[in-house]
Structures are given as C-alpha cells and as structure tokens.
Structure 1
Amino acid sequence: MINKTNITGIILAGGKSSRMGQDKGLLKFKEQSFIQYSIDALTPLVSDIIIVSDHAEHQLFGFKTIEDDEKDAGPVSGICSGLEASKSTYNIILSCDIPFIKSRLLEKLLKHTDDAYDIIQAESKGKTMPLIAIYKKQCLRTFKDLLNQGERRLRVAVNHCVVKNVPTNFDEDKMTMNINTKEELKLISDADNS
C-alpha cells in the first residue's frame, strides 16, 4: 500500500447544503459533527488533512482550511482547490456528509491504486461515488481546464480521467451513505436510538 506520507486527505465541506437548510459538516450524529467522521476515517491513512470550505467554523477542527477558488461551482471547484493545496501525489477526497465512513473502506480503495488510473472511486450498489475516491494530483489540470470551460458536473469531469471503480460489499454499502435532508438525518438518528 502507498506510504501515508504521500497521501493527503481532502474533505469537501463548502457546499450550500440547500436541501438540508444548514451546514452539513456541522450537523451532529451521536454527539459528533458529520465532518469529524470523515476526519476520523482519514487520520490513520494520511499525512495531512485539508478542509475545503468557505465556512469559518470549519477552522475549529484544527486542520488547514482553504476556500473554493471559484464560488458556487460545486465539487469540481472544491476538488481543484484541494488538489492545488495538496503536496501529495495521492489524495483521498471525501464529502462531509457521510457519517458512516470508515478507514477500512478507504484502505480498500488504496489497495487498488496503480499507475494506470487517475481516480479510484467506490461503487456502491452499482452507483459510483466520486466523493469517496482517491485522486492523483495530476487530475488537477483536467479539472481546472473543464472548470475554465464552464463545466460544473462532477461526473463529466471524472469521466475525462482514467477511472477504476471498486465495488463495495454489503457491509461497506452503509459507509457510503450520504445524508442530504433533515428527513434522512431523522431516519438514521431514529434507527440509532431504536
């Protein structure tokens, strides 16, 4: 597996959270902020963590926090900003709304890295997860070019790179679950209390 000194963790936490109505990274599940779950999953595997966010509160987590280069341009811009700030060849990119994420799923992705691929992403129940993925630093040029052309769709940007999908097993499917609405948050909270 790749030495952790050559891996940076990048958490995208700058979204508008329009469906949730509040900053998703700071939402609490089991008394812990959503963003902390991503931090905990990354910590054993990386030498550095960068949070991409325009929210000043995210600096409280104690990691380098950078703003999106281009405002309101979605995850394509967030990934560009994160890769630009990274000093590593390999970068584990996570969204901040996946409270069930665990290091072992990220380790599985790391085991699949090789020189032939730019991006190694999880695939859960047939759906690819470009925000639970490893991006090589060299993706920056492609993403930047697309951003400059006005492209905002993450899946389009990802498809301009050489990608390997790593299917999750039944136990890992839950780790990829992202929480976008208050209803979804209530569901996982109720399930946890039952």
Structure 2
Amino acid sequence: MINSGLAGLVLCGGYSSRMGSDKGLLLHTDGYWVQNAIDKMEALGLPVWVSVREEQHAIYSSIISSDKLLADAVSVQGPLAGLLTAHQHFPEQDWLVVACDMIDMTQSVLKQVIDAYQCSKKYDCFVFEQEGKWEPLCAIYTKIALEKFLGIAKQGQLPSQSMKYLIEKSHPCFIPITSDSYPAFRNYNQPDDLKIKNPL
C-alpha cells in the first residue's frame, strides 16, 4: 500500500439524469465504469470503496462486494454526501476520490496527486487546477479537511456550490493540470459525449 492513511473512493451516487442510465454501470472497454476506476486505484496499492445512494446498493452489490459499498448516510446534496459518509465510516482515513464518469483518468495523473499528498503534510486537501478551474472530483481530502467539512454541514452553512465553498474554507494544495494530462479530466454526462469519444 502506498500510504496506510490513504484509500480510494469511487463516486457513483449521482442520478445520471442527463445520461439516462446509471453511469457507474455503463460498460467501458475493460468492464463497468465503476470497475474501471476501482482498477486504476487498486493498481496504485490503495484499498477502494464505492459511494452509492441507498437505492443503488442492491444492483451494485451484484457486481461489487457489498462490504466495499458505502451508501449515503449524510443529509447533504451531491458528491459531498458520499465523501462525508466515507469519513463517518472511517474517520481516520484520508480519501482519494474519483468520479466514475472520469473514464479517461490515468494512473499517472492519480500518482501525481498522491505524490503531492505524500510530500507535504501542511495542506488538508489536494486538488487539480487549470486557469482557476478546480477539479474537486479527482482530489485527495484528508481527515482534517473532512472533519471541518462535516462540522460546516452540521451547522447548515453549505451553499449550493458546496465543494468549491469547502475547498475555499480549507488549506488546499492546487496541482496544475498540464496539457498532457488535461484529457484525463473529461467526464461524460450525456450520450452525445460518448459519440465524441467513439465516433462512427
């Protein structure tokens, strides 16, 4: 294992309304989108869990061991629900999160954020950035940041853009996205996006 304090979390709890079907269960060349993300993080030596909504648990448990599924149990919206649920289950853990629809993410890009995390303990989250645009769904959040996030959530102080707000409230390390790594951050939100990736 790269670091006993770091684990992987694949975010699959979105409603996939624009795609029309659960994105984590779409098929990639190497299997389901969720498995694609799991494999990349496990290849780097990380234990990996999968964040889902409660109503997704049954279908996901047919392809992934149920003890690796974390059903949302925090009353907040969006990916933060999965992240804070993971924190409540494992409060001493730091988390590398990747959205399941980042199917072009590479091990080398993930290794880059892990290297930044390992080299500096003065930051509490590690987020990729390009020209002021942040990528909060491929990032590392430490237990210190997550405890702070949970406290803000419990106080009911979260705005609609909660991930951006929380990063601003933390002590982030921003990692520049290079031109070579930029394609790894593409996410696929609707069927037409897949046509771009796989033209006829």
What TM-score does the superposition give when structure 1 sets the normalisation length? 0.88
TM-superposed deviation, 1:31: 5.4
- State whether structure 2 residue 83 is matched by structure 1 residue 83: no
Structure 1 residue 87 displacement after superposition: 6.1
Write out the 4+ residue segments of structure 1 that deviate beyond 4 Å after TM superposition.
Answer: none
Cα distance in 2, alignment partners of residues 38 and 97 from structure 1: 9
Partner of 1:146: 152
1:61 lines up with 2:64 in the alignment = yes
Q: Is the counterpart of residue 30 in structure 1 residue 29 in structure 2?
A: yes
Asked whether the equivalents of residues 27 and 33 of structure 1 are also in contact (C-alpha less than 8 Å), the reply is yes
1:44 and 2:79 correspond: no
Does structure 1 conserve the Cα–Cα contact (< 8 Å) formed by 2:30 and 2:36?
no
**CA deviation digits over 1:36-65, x for unaligned, max 9?**
221122012244111110212222123610
* 2:96 counterpart of 1:92: yes
The residue aligned with 1:120 is: 126
Distance 1:124 1:177, change over 3 A: farther
**1:126 Cα deviation after fit:** 4.5
* Count of matched residue pairs: 190
**What displacement does 1:176 show?**
0.9
| TM-score, normalising length: structure 2 | 0.85
Q: Are the aligned partners of 1:9 and 1:46 in contact in 2 as well (CA < 8 Å)?
A: no
The whole-number CA distance in structure 2 between the counterparts of 1:43 and 1:27 is 20
Structure 1 partner of 2:2? 3
Aligned residues: percent identity? Answer: 24
Note the alpha carbon deviations across 1:79-135, whole angstroms, 9 max, x for none: 101222236543111111100111111111111121111110112465211110011
- Distance between the aligned counterparts of 1:92 and 1:187, measured in 2? 28
Match of 1:135 in 2: 141
What residue number does 1:168 align with?
177
Q: Is the contact made by 1:13 and 1:52 (CA closer than 8 Å) also made in structure 2?
A: yes
Which residue type is aligned with residue 80 of structure 1? Answer: L
TM-superposed CA distance for 1:161, in Å, is: 0.9
Q: Does 1:19 align with 2:28?
A: no
For residues 112 and 31 of structure 1, what CA distance do their matches in structure 2 show?
A: 29
CA distance in 2, matches of 1:89, 1:103: 21
Counterpart in the other structure of 2:78: 74
In the aligned structure 2, how far is the partner of 1:102 from the partner of 1:144?
A: 30
SS in 2 for 1:130: strand
Cα distance in 2 for partners of 1:183, 1:72 equals 30
Range with bigger deviation, 5-14 or 58-67: 58-67
Structure 1 residues 82 and 46: CA distance shift in structure 2, 3 A: farther
Whole-Å separation in 2 of the counterparts to 1:174 and 1:50: 25
Q: CA-atom RMSD, angstroms?
A: 2.1
